[in-house]
Structure 1
Amino acid sequence: MLLYVTVGTNDLERAGAFYDAVLPTLGYRRQRQDETEIGYGADGDVRVRFWVVTPFNREPATYGNGVSIALAAETRGAVDAFHAAALAAGGADEGAPGLRPFHAHFYGAWVRDLDGNKIAAVCERPE
């Protein structure tokens, strides 16, 4: 359903270092970059699906209250690794890895990146 998502940043270099450390835990790698944005995609995917950008309008980037972007994880171990990598890279805990009541196999973790964007990793497979 979604083609791509973006999160805003006020420091592209710092945000890139954060996501370079975190997104490989879910199989995403930096695929594109210029002076205003960095794009991450899965190996073998023809599209960049996750973008970190400086706002087009040149105003400061802000995060949305109530906004959370959930990225699919292949395993619960990948969720754990995502959470640990985000915290090690300076992110803030918004929900430790674990099962949630949304359905029997919903295993997720939530973090805030260095700009306050709320990002989750979720595995919906039984393990």
Structure 2
Amino acid sequence: MDHYMTVGARDQAASVTFYDAALGAIGWARHADVAGWSCYSQGGSGDGIVLFVGAPFDGAEPSAGNGQMIGFLSPSREQVDAFHAAALKAGGTCAGAPGERARYGPGVYAAYVRDPSGNKMSAVHRG
């Protein structure tokens, strides 16, 4: 593991349900559960960038930062749509429906969601 991201979770079970579904739609999978944290990577290999989901180490309530977001590249528009649908079905909330995002450049197609703890995520396809 060279690069990683972390997000705090208020309810680990709800977060795992959300991330298993939403990230599964774009080819990511949970590859480990370690010391109360669930670990996700592309293809579930544990290689490359890893996302850790769990309770903050300081024991304080997790909070979502205003202006913070994690974006995941997606190989197709269909997978962006699937990410959004899976996230909503698994307890997430819509933060921007799938669609063209011309202000970010030609061919940018994205969807935005918030996980059960309020963390903002996106799936983006450039094509």
Do the two structures share a fold, i.e. TM-score over 0.5? yes
Which consecutive residues of structure 2, in runs of 5 or more, have no partner in the other structure? none
Q: Give the CA deviation at 1:45.
A: 5.2
Aligned to 1:34: 34
**What is the CA–CA distance in structure 1 between the aligned matches of 2:47 and 2:23, rounded to whole Å?**
17
Q: 1:116 aligns with which of 110, 118, 124?
A: 118
Farther off after superposition, 73-82 or 46-55: 46-55
Q: Deviations over 1:54-93 (max 9, x none)?
A: 1010111110011111111010000000000011112111
CA distance in 2 between counterparts of 1:34 and 1:60 reads: 20
Contact residue 110 and residue 118 of structure 1 kept, 8 A: yes
Shift of 1:109: 0.3
Tell me which residue corresponds to 1:90.
91
Instruction: Indicate whether 1:59 and 2:60 are aligned.
Output: yes
2:87 counterpart SS class: helix
Change (3 A) 1:3 1:119: same
- Residues 31 and 46, structure 2, Cα contact 8 Å, conserved in 1: no
Letter in 2 for 1:11: D
Which is further off, 41-50 or 63-72? 41-50
TM-score after normalising by structure 2: 0.91
Aligned length: 124
Q: CA deviation at 1:3?
A: 1.4
CA offsets, 1:7-45, max 9 Å, x none? 110111221111111111111111010342000012245
Amino-acid identity (%): 39
Cα distance in 2, alignment partners of residues 113 and 46 from structure 1: 23
Change beyond 3 A, Cα 1:15–1:45: closer
d(CA) in 1 for partners of 2:81 and 2:54?
26
TM-score (norm 1): 0.91
Q: Which runs of 5+ in 1 are unaligned?
A: none
Query: Residues of 2 paired with 1:83 and 1:112: CA distance?
Result: 10
